[in-house]
Amino acid sequence: MGVVMKSRPVLVIYLWALVWVLAPLPSLNAQPTPTLEASTSHERENEVPTILVVGDSISAAYGIQREEGWVALLESRLGPEGAHVINASVSGETTAGGVARLPALLDHDPDLVIIELGGNDGLRGYPIQRIRANLLDMTQTVIEAGATPLIVGMQIPPNYGPRYTDAFRDTFAEVATTTSSAFVPFFLENVATDGDLMQDDGIHPTAEAQPLLVDIIWPFIEKLLSDS
């Protein structure tokens, strides 16, 4: 599918980051509990690894069809013999929400847990210490459950000030280092700053951008599955 070129103001490069992980405000506090489902078959062989994705609207396929989102595309790339993928992402989710929901989600006995959270916290200016503590809590909970965590890094625009933006960016790497966990430096690399890969709202990646997100995270997932 081709990408339709659009003329956008220069400021769209920063506008995406101000709200790209937020669902429209009226629905932020009214998000339904996500349906925990794989994209393909209903049953898997016991020996097939399970991947649990705990994220926000970037992983919840906001504004596009669910089957067009990067999580569904990931499962398609893995194939029915590759992994059972459960998408537990919710638009507008924060690290605190992830901490609260994670214990119940781990009942699915995942082998790999992808933690794609923190963007909303940063965009709302939450204290870095709180974000770090929540990410550390989730990562340690995953490890204690016998699963492997994969921390997905996020960034916020420079208008939040260098002290906060640098500390926010570094938090993901620090948690990964502390827990000896795998780490994706910036999930939206080469996507967020390309207006033609963003939806008309200038907030969320388009369907055309989703394969690029899979390409970014794929090497990490492939290695972790092969090492398990």
List the domain boundaries for the chain.
14-22+33-227
Q: Which of 181, 180, 183, 190 is nearest to 215 (CA)?
A: 190
Catalytic residues: 57, 201, 204
Residue 7: the pLDDT is 43
Residue 83: the pLDDT is 94
Rg (CA), the chain: 17
Tell me the C-alpha distance between 182 and 217, whole Å. 11
Quote the tokens at residue 221: 């997932």
Low-confidence ranges of the chain (pLDDT < 50): 1-33, 35, 38-45
Residue 34: the pLDDT is 52
Class of domain 14-22+33-227: alpha beta
